[in-house]
Structure 1
Amino acid sequence: MSEFIPPGPEAKVFVISVAAELSGLHPQTLRTYDRLGIVSPGRTGGGGRRYSLSDIELLRDVARLTAEGLGLEGVKRVLRAPAHRTCAAGSRRVARVGSRGGAQRARVDAEPPRPRIDRGAARRGVAA
């Protein structure tokens, strides 16, 4: 008997429930990402989805980006960028985008709150 050789990272072997558990996402979210073209799982003869390790890494990147506040259209643009073609470059790109978003959010959070204007004060006869 020959020695067992495990499948590579591109082998589409994980059913949707396992891929959802490994990526930390709900199975319905995976179906939505498939429908939007964010991830492209393989299909069985009966139409069942099969995900690879690379797909699961991609789903984790998507989850990280959306947690940072990036919308799905932004996620699609990041994933289409040439820097995301390799896993290492993709991780750097995700980190860069995430850190930029955090810096912008920190800058907005650091601004003092604007004073509230009571627009109904004049109608009520109250001095503003």
Structure 2
Amino acid sequence: MSEFVQLDEEQIAKYQTFHKKLRVDMEKALQKLQQLEHKQEDYQLVIEYIKNNSGQSQMKMNVGANTFLDVELVNPLMITLDVGMNVFVELNFSEAEKITAKQIQILQNKIEEQKKSILSIQQYIDQVEEILLQFK
């Protein structure tokens, strides 16, 4: 801002409230970005598994909290894949790889959009902070 504008206490309070809301929005946006990136990593692990382990009858399975168990696969030539909305399908590896690659691309697009949103929120935060600094 090149011009110095005089604000009353009520207007300053509104800017402070807006600043707090922007901070909350930023935190939510960063969490969503982290979730999208984590989901993309999961899909990339599926692709890696398909490329490296097709046909093997044993594998290590993450059962949560980075705890892995050795498991015996019932049908090592098929993979059960979550295709969204709690719908699971059993596919051969080449079909699963195609769907997973498409999911990775969709997630990449969502990640890029989320990064743009984060940048926009950060620009608003910077502008509001600049205004608030003028009145401290």
Q: How does the TM-score come out when normalised to structure 1?
A: 0.36
Q: Which has the higher strand share?
A: 2
Per chain length, whose mean CA-contact separation is higher, i.e. which structure has more relative contact order (CA < 8 Å, sep 6+)?
2
Q: How does the TM-score come out when normalised to structure 2?
A: 0.34
Q: Which has the higher helix share?
A: 2
**Larger Rg belongs to:** 2
